[in-house]
Structure 1
Amino acid sequence: MGPRDKQKTPATGFSAPTLSLVEYVKIATGQSFGARKDGIRGPRLRKGRMNRVLLYNGCFNPPHHGHLAHLIHAYRYAGGFDSLGDSGSGHSTAAKNNDDGGGDGSSGSRSEDAVIGAIILVAPDVYLSYKFPTHKKNLHLPENQRIELWETALSHPQVNAREWCAVIPESDWMTVESELEDLCAGDGVQVEYVRLAGGDKVSRRLVEHGAWGCVVTVTADVSRGVDFCERDGDGYRLHRIKGHGEWKRAVQDDDDDDGDTGEGKKKGRRDVWTCSHAKRRDRELLFVTSREDERVDPNVSSTEVRRIISDVVSTSTTYAYTAQQTQDLLEKELSGVALSSELLARYIVEVPSFFVEKGWTSC
């Protein structure tokens, strides 16, 4: 038995437009029971169209600004889904993917070919122990802290993404997905989950297709470069991915057409390209290009954040800093790199004995 009474209709009881993705997730996870709040501005799932939702999974140990940029870029600009599988180029216009309200997509409507929301799946602690063995004294932020770091960052006024993005434990996804399926079916709403993969999951040699049952994988180069996109300033050339067909433009940034040769010759453009797996034609890869002024420092990574923490803790130990001095220095050094740097600094200072007694390093 889930968070709602299964003897009742699985619908939430609201007429179209129904609820936002975040409201559905809250009901599915037992945080809400269908009472609509006043002032909800997030884009609502709608009947009569396919509502596409990004699934973004990872360790996020800890989450950083590259993760956030990757998420927001895909949410804002991923489109062209309705052209997938077509033999033609399926051009649409990138501007149509933008909402009618603010640039973060928190208000207004979304085009039928745009992503409606996102769910971040945070890996469990046991996976961190596997990926970062404890005998190597790695930093392991507990699952609840990694979730809170994400939620705090998404709630920041300059981000304002909590209205279209939910954060849940990855280990809860199968149960939540089942609940969401019941809710959406009851409300007559269609949902398709699309995997948002980091640049490390997509390369010229390999694409991790099929994660979470997703037939479409989305990636971008806003937070780190990808080896299949050769950059020349804002111009670029796409290389064919092993085992996949040719690239086809799905979303065109402007009225000028560079053709469908996998090249963006025009400076300052943002396009969306797709290619299909050669044998599994239903497996699609969607690549959202970025403009130079949108890209974050490619050196920003969780490894770099852990190195910064290690250096500060080492300095703090050497010079016998107080807890407050250490926290202030951590916040200063992590600002602009780690998400929710103030909260992360507090987490670190709250467990100083871990670093001193166990000789923690950033490896």
Structure 2
Amino acid sequence: MASPPDPAALTNTHIPHNPNIIEPYLQDALNTSSSSAHPAHLINPTSRTSHPINAPNAITTYPTLKLNTRNQILLFPGSFNPPHQGHLATIRYFHERRDQLAIVAMFIFADPSDIIGTKEKIWGDIILPQSLRNQMFAEVLELAQLIEGRWLHLLVGDMEGHINVLRDTTDLIADAGWDVNLVGFLGGDKLSIESPPHLPPGGLRAWGPVDEFLIMNARRPVDFYDPGPDASPHNLLGCTEWKRGKLKVEHEQSVGALWLCRALTVPGEPVIQFRASKRSASNGISSTKIRRIMSEAPDEELYGQLKDKVLSVELLLEWLKIYRKTKMMEDEGAL
């Protein structure tokens, strides 16, 4: 394998130094996007956090790109309406297994509010502003430390802009000589045995130019796999047959057995990685249940019903108090 790239050899980009971390490549991609109509940008932890970022267990060194491996940049998009403990558990799962999965960075992208409004969801009338959803992530001490350490990033922009920035970042890293993939993470409900991946619920065409997709059942069951001895996933419509990938035994015990297929109905026929675990550790928390509480629970019961489910619950309650008051005034005005 070649030696790490020499910064002086990077003649076709504006990347200045430290080419073994993604930050200069990412910043170059962000600067390029700043001329677009809806430029993407990153959010840093807010000053409202009640704990210092530089706590004893805070990360002090940036993640580095590795030789002799394919570095994975993981994109975790979603409505996050609102962010909850299940989302935190998923982020924690990937961070704890970042070495086994070669994840050098993870990006969260909260869908714009107008996009959420186009989705038919139960109890979907309440739509939190995108800025609030990002702030609810950033004020969690554990996540704020990961953001400060540059492993986790909160990316803001429109649907096209965010993927363009990540694609440009990945291409710059690859041009500098590193082996790197942009991987889209799919929740357990995003692929179904009943429909091909280019149609909902997968809708992989809408993601744009990612290299691969990753789905797992460790946090949420999938309908195309029944855990058991020597179990294999059921084939998906519009995809090649699943083929078993090779993993070290200790890695398989940590991240599940690796299965691979290609989505034939999606441009570029991207690879879908499925990490099959022996069980799912879902805590049963869902955005739908939370939104029902937000819609129906009396004011005095909101904190008690939401505090163990929602991230940064105080922020949510501040916003919800104003939302309810405004809605009540609008309803009275309509009478």
TM-score (normalizing by structure 2)? 0.69
Among residues 42, 62, 86, which one is paired with 2:62 in the alignment?
A: 42
Task: Give the equivalent residue in structure 2 for 1:305.
Answer: 290
1:98-177 paired onto structure 2 within 5 Å: 103=96, 105=98, 110=99, 114-131=102-119, 138-153=125-140, 155-156=141-142, 160-162=145-147, 163=149, 164-171=151-158, 172-174=161-163, 176-177=165-166
Deviation for aligned residue 1:124: 1.1
Aligned-pair distance for 1:227?
0.7
Structure 1: any 5+ residue segments left out of the alignment? 1-7, 77-102, 258-265, 317-325
Counting only pairs closer than 5 Å after superposition, residues 181-330 of structure 1 correspond to structure 2 as 184=173, 188-189=177-178, 191-204=180-193, 205-207=195-197, 208-210=203-205, 211-231=207-227, 236-252=231-247, 254=249, 270-277=256-263, 282-292=269-279, 295-297=281-283, 299-312=284-297, 315-316=298-299, 326=300, 329-330=301-302
1:348/1:72 Cα in 2 relative to 1: closer, same or farther (>3 Å)?
same
Task: Compute the displacement of 1:284 (Å).
Answer: 1.4
Aligned to 2:315: 343
If the length of structure 1 is used for normalisation, what is the TM-score? 0.64
- Kindly indicate whether the alpha-carbon contact (under 8 Å) linking 1:21 and 1:45 is maintained by their aligned counterparts in 2: no
Q: Distance in 2 between matches of 1:47 and 1:160?
A: 26
* Residues in 2 aligned to 1:30 and 1:170: alpha-carbon distance in whole angstroms: 7
In 1, Cα distance between the equivalents of 2:262 and 2:171?
31
Distance in 2, Cα, partners of 1:137 & 1:225 = 23
Partner of 1:84: none
Change (3 A) 1:244 1:27: closer
1:14 partner SS: coil
CA distance in 2, matches of 1:126, 1:142: 9
Count of aligned residue pairs for this structure pair: 287
**Aligned-pair CA distance for 1:71:** 4.0
Is contact 1:10-1:186 (8 Å) kept? no
Aligned 8 A contact 2:263 2:269 in 1: yes
| RMSD between aligned residues | 4.0
Q: Does 1:18 align with 2:21?
A: yes
What amino acid is the match of 2:112?
A: P
Give distance in 1, aligned partners of 2:196 and 2:157: 23
Deviation of 1:168 after TM superposition, in Å, equals 1.5
The alpha-carbon deviation at position 218 of structure 1 amounts to 0.7
CA distance in 2, matches of 1:349, 1:256: 46
Please state how far the C-alpha of 1:139 moved relative to its aligned partner. 0.4
